[in-house]
Chains A and B, each alone.
Chain A
């Protein structure tokens, strides 16, 4: 068994190193896919509603089951716990190590060493930020939708958390994916020095793209939530609200 003796047998270091990379890759790719789904609000409330219902399994079961969202969020949370447990081995642990590291980083002024430290700091922040976000989601899987999410962002005062989480998670995931490729020597091309420069560029372009997309998306939820704050808690119904959106002065249902 691969996992059975990871903590006690000599194969442990290999298993732990691979699991750290694999869990990180899945989480980073999920994070980007998640951003695309969430940003559906930019295409309008109906688009976001459709995405929500799709994840609740409506196209398959004919009816939405929010528990599916809970289960998937639980899976992601367990991946995060695994990844955090493994990555914690790399954190500086003692004052002596922090002192040595800070003196070292200040002396060498070296980009990739800084990037590693950004991973440590953002990773630490994610223990808390991601946990808050995921616990809320696991316990209230049905509270996802154009109005429900926007109310949570605005009336539920979650936007400061999401704003910080956006920067922290995008930095952590983007840097992490770049570093995992260099770590295992993937996609480096014929000349690894050129390959690394290419990957660095790709990493920053992607990070910038997702940050802009994320900020626009968060702004959209905040706007919808702000306009909907008097009726916070009410759910979105495409048939009723598509009309409201077209004629804001018209009667509500």
Chain B
């Protein structure tokens, strides 16, 4: 007989911790609202994410608590917040990895909608319009013809950078972006790198230089590397900024 069959699966008996959540509360549209922290206690459950915890707090303790969620799976980028001071996605953060006291704050650098909810969309749109993060082609597209072929390596490179979900963690994690609100941040530079790689985009380096060849752009980056280290999608942001910096340095002096 196989000995394994006689063994029972050990049941993990743990005492659930009670977690204290100190959550930033403020409604900027209410003149009487003062920014403050409110504490909520919650018994930790197995595999509980911050997303689950916040929903439970809202359901049972604070019906007016505002926070953003859509996908619950780290794809939509809505639920980024400061978790004990560090930017991260609430839906991808396990409560078990946090200490017994958790402080939650809205992402800094974005317009506050209320409590933990910020308007990253407005910021991202402004950045996108400023940097023109779409394909600029001189050619008329014939929508009846078969698409142009692209080298698989190029397609994969573009796909890798396209994984950005515009959650805003790289802006909240960047000392430069925090000190200098005009800085386009890793999200902007990464997106422009993505279009620079794309063979369908006909913009020259001189044109890219006009967009980011300044200190609000790539030369404003001070390599604090918060973007790289806090990106929940683990995008190679430092590498992309270095790539843009090299290209823009050459474009700037030639």
Contact between A185 and B86, CB atoms less than 8 A apart: no
Instruction: Answer yes or no: B42 CB below 8 A from chain A CBs.
Output: no
Known contacts A108-B86, A108-B87, A188-B239; is A14 also within 8 Å of B213 by CB? Answer: yes
* Cβ–Cβ < 8 Å partners of A18 in chain B: 249, 253
Nearest CB in chain B to that of A10: its residue: B213
Contact between A183 and B173, CB atoms less than 8 A apart: no
The count of A-to-B residue pairs whose CB atoms sit within 8 angstroms is 104
Main DSSP-derived SS at the A contact region: helix
- Tell me how far the C-beta of B29 lies from the nearest C-beta in chain A, rounded to whole angstroms: 24
Contact between B85 and A179, CB atoms less than 8 A apart: no
Of B222, B236, B251, B252, the residue contacting A192 (CB under 8 A) is: B236
Cα separation A182 to B243 with both chains bound (whole Å): 11
List residues 189-232 of chain B with CB under 8 A from any CB of chain A. 209-210, 213-215, 217, 219, 221-226, 229-230
- Tell me how far the C-beta of B96 lies from the nearest C-beta in chain A, rounded to whole angstroms: 20
Cα separation A90 to B176 with both chains bound (whole Å): 9
Contact between B179 and A192, CB atoms less than 8 A apart: no
Instruction: Answer yes or no: B246 CB below 8 A from chain A CBs.
Output: yes
* Cβ–Cβ < 8 Å partners of B210 in chain A: 10
Known contacts A2-B253, A13-B213, A15-B252; is A192 also within 8 Å of B238 by CB? Answer: yes
Cα separation A184 to B239 with both chains bound (whole Å): 8
Instruction: Answer yes or no: A246 CB below 8 A from chain B CBs.
Output: no
Of B108, B179, B236, the residue contacting A97 (CB under 8 A) is: B179
Interface size counted on chain A using CB atoms at 8 A:
35
Cα separation A105 to B217 with both chains bound (whole Å): 22
Contact between B238 and A196, CB atoms less than 8 A apart: yes
User: Contact flags (1/0) for A72-115 with B, using CB distance below 8 Å?
Assistant: 00000000000000000110100001001100111111101101
The number of chain B residues touching the other chain, given as a range, is 35 or more
Instruction: Answer yes or no: B26 CB below 8 A from chain A CBs.
Output: no
Nearest CB in chain B to that of A97: its residue: B179
- Tell me how far the C-beta of B72 lies from the nearest C-beta in chain A, rounded to whole angstroms: 25
Contact between A185 and B179, CB atoms less than 8 A apart: no
- Tell me how far the C-beta of A91 lies from the nearest C-beta in chain B, rounded to whole angstroms: 10
* Cβ–Cβ < 8 Å partners of B85 in chain A: 106-109
* Cβ–Cβ < 8 Å partners of B87 in chain A: 108
* Cβ–Cβ < 8 Å partners of A89 in chain B: 215
Instruction: Answer yes or no: B167 CB below 8 A from chain A CBs.
Output: no
Cα separation A209 to B12 with both chains bound (whole Å): 48
Nearest CB in chain B to that of A110: its residue: B226
Known contacts A104-B108, A108-B87; is A183 also within 8 Å of B179 by CB? Answer: no
Of A104, A112, A113, A184, the residue contacting B246 (CB under 8 A) is: A184
Of A10, A100, A108, A182, the residue contacting B173 (CB under 8 A) is: A108
* Cβ–Cβ < 8 Å partners of A106 in chain B: 85
* Cβ–Cβ < 8 Å partners of B226 in chain A: 108, 110, 112-113
Cα separation A11 to B205 with both chains bound (whole Å): 13
Cα separation A13 to B244 with both chains bound (whole Å): 14
Nearest CB in chain A to that of B248: its residue: A14
Contact between A183 and B242, CB atoms less than 8 A apart: yes
Cα separation A26 to B245 with both chains bound (whole Å): 20
- Tell me how far the C-beta of B104 lies from the nearest C-beta in chain A, rounded to whole angstroms: 12
Known contacts A106-B85, A113-B225; is A13 also within 8 Å of B179 by CB? Answer: no
Known contacts A14-B249, A108-B230, A192-B238; is A100 also within 8 Å of B178 by CB? Answer: yes
Contact between B223 and A183, CB atoms less than 8 A apart: yes
Contact between B178 and A14, CB atoms less than 8 A apart: no
Contact between B173 and A11, CB atoms less than 8 A apart: no
Contact between B239 and A14, CB atoms less than 8 A apart: no
Instruction: Answer yes or no: B118 CB below 8 A from chain A CBs.
Output: no
Contact between B224 and A11, CB atoms less than 8 A apart: no
Cα separation A18 to B248 with both chains bound (whole Å): 11
Contact between B222 and A16, CB atoms less than 8 A apart: no
* Cβ–Cβ < 8 Å partners of A113 in chain B: 175, 224-226
Cα separation A35 to B86 with both chains bound (whole Å): 39
Cα separation A234 to B9 with both chains bound (whole Å): 84
* Cβ–Cβ < 8 Å partners of A192 in chain B: 236, 238-239
Cα separation A32 to B230 with both chains bound (whole Å): 33
Binding site for B on A (CB under 8 A): 2, 10-11, 13-18, 89-90, 92, 97, 100-101, 104-110, 112-113, 115-116, 179, 182-185, 188, 192-193, 196
6 A-B pairs closest in CB distance: A14-B252, A185-B242, A107-B85, A112-B225, A13-B219, A113-B224
Can you give 26 A-B contacts (C-beta < 8 A)? A2-B253, A10-B210, A11-B213, A11-B253, A90-B222, A92-B179, A100-B178, A101-B178, A101-B179, A104-B178, A104-B179, A106-B85, A108-B173, A108-B226, A109-B85, A109-B86, A110-B224, A112-B229, A113-B224, A116-B224, A183-B221, A183-B223, A184-B242, A184-B246, A192-B236, A192-B238
